[in-house]
Amino acid sequence: MPKLKRSESDERATDFVESLDRGLRLLQCFGATAGPMTLSDLARAADLPRATARRMLLTLQRGGYVSGDGKLFSLTPHVLTLATSYLRSSQIIAVLQPVLDRIAIAAQEISSLAVLDGDDVVFIARGGPTRIFSGGLEIGYRLPAFCTSVGRAMLGQFDDADLAARLNAMNRQALTPQTETDPKALLARISADRAQGYSLVDREAEPHFRSISVPVRRYDGVIVAAINMGAHVDRVPAQELLDRFLPLLRDGAEAVRSQLL
C-alpha cells in the first residue's frame, strides 16, 4: 500500500514542541509581578497544571534560567542571554545604532528604535548625547502600537482594509485622556501619517510626552522598524518636533535604506 503524503498542517503539528512552548510561556509569566513567585502563582499565570509547571521550573532551574527553593522561584541573570542573542544578531540594531547616536548628539535628545511585535511596539535600541542615560524608554519596553508614534509609523505599511481589520481586532484601551481609541479615527490618522511619511503623537501614550517618528525601510521599500524622538510637553513644543527633529529622523532613516536586507 502506498505511503500517504502528510499535509502541511500535519507537518506543522508534528514539528510543534509543546513542552518548549510551555517552558517559554512560563518564563514570560515572571514579568507579571515584582519579586519571587510561588509555583501555584506561576502555574495559574501560565495556565498549566501544577505538576507540569513544577517539571518545567525544575528543568529551567537546571539550565540556570531560574532559581528557587521549591516554594518560591525567580529568574536569574542568565535569562538575559536570550535577549542578548537577539540584540547581537539583529541587523537592524547594528545598522541603526550609529544613526541613533548621531541623531541624539545633533538634537541633544534621546532617540529610539522600535519594531512591531503583534499589536505592540518593542523598543530595541536607543541613542543619547552621552552613553549614560537618565531617562527615556528602556530597551525591551513595550507599548500598544495604535497610540504611539512609532507604532502608527509602522502600521502604515498595511493597506486600509488590512489596517481596519487589525485596529478593530486589537485592544485599544486608553492610556491617557488624550488617547484616540475609535478605530475609524485611528484609520484616518494612520492613513494621513502614511501619506506624509511621519507620525506625531501628542500625550496619547504618556500624559506629558509627545513624540515624532518615521518608518525605517529596507532596500525594497518594506517597513521594518521606526525611529523616534520625543520630549516632555512643557519643554519641547510640537512645532519644534517638526522643525528640528523630523529632518534628522528622515535623513537617518534614508541613510540606512540600502544597508538593510
CATH code of the domain covering residue 213: 3.30.450.40
Q: Does 10 reside within a domain?
A: no
CATH code of the domain covering residue 25: 1.10.10.10
Q: Are both 171 and 236 inside the same structural domain? A: yes
Domain that holds residue 203: 90-259
- Any idea of the CA torsion for 199, 204, 209, 214, to the nearest 10 degrees? -10
Q: Does residue 203 form part of some domain?
A: yes
Judge if pTM exceeds 0.85. Answer: no
Q: How many angstroms separate the CA atoms of 173 and 171, rounded? A: 6
Q: State how far the Cα of 107 lies from the Cα of 236, in Å rounded to an integer.
A: 12
**Rounded Cα distance, 110 and 231, in Å:** 9
Q: Report how far residue 181's alpha carbon sits from residue 244's, in angstroms, rounded to the nearest whole number.
A: 29
| pLDDT recorded at residue 134 | 46
**pLDDT confidence of residue 9:** 54
Domain membership of residue 50 (yes or no) is yes
Question: Would 85 be classed as within a structural domain?
Answer: no
Start-to-end C-alpha separation, the chain: 47
4 found inside a domain = no
Q: Are residues 211 and 246 in the same domain?
A: yes
**10-residue averages of pLDDT along the chain (261 residues):** 51 75 90 85 92 93 91 91 89 95 94 96 90 62 96 97 97 97 98 98 96 97 97 94 97 96 86
Measured at the CA of 148, the angle between CA 132 and CA 254, to 5 degrees, comes to 70
Residue 175 sits in the same domain as residue 237: yes
Give the chain's domain count.
2
Residue 84, domain member (yes or no):
no
- Quick one: 72 and 111 in the same domain? no
Whether 96 is covered by a domain: the verdict is yes
